[in-house]
Amino acid sequence: MTDFERKVYQIIVNMHLYGKNPTLNDLKRKTGKGKEDIRTAVKSLIMRGELKWDKLQKKWII
């Protein structure tokens, strides 16, 4: 896991603990990176099995 992937993962986990679901704009603001960088990191985390998206409840499964 790269440093940026770890940062995105930690933001998602922390917001999940408070019952919030980070939006793309939240991640852009908190990381200072663009949409494509964030999407690449999230896709990599999903492929590794670190994250999973629940389509019915529309939230991350950690």
Domain boundaries, the chain: 3-61
> What is the reported pLDDT for 58?
87
pLDDT band at 51 (very low <50, low <70, confident <90, very high): very high
Q: Which of 49, 54, 60, 55 is nearest to 12 (CA)?
A: 60
Contact between residue 31 and residue 8 where contact means Cβ atoms under 8 Å apart:
yes
Architecture of domain 3-61: Orthogonal Bundle (1.10)
Express each pLDDT in 14-46 by its tens digit: 999 998 999 999 999 999 999 999 999 999 999
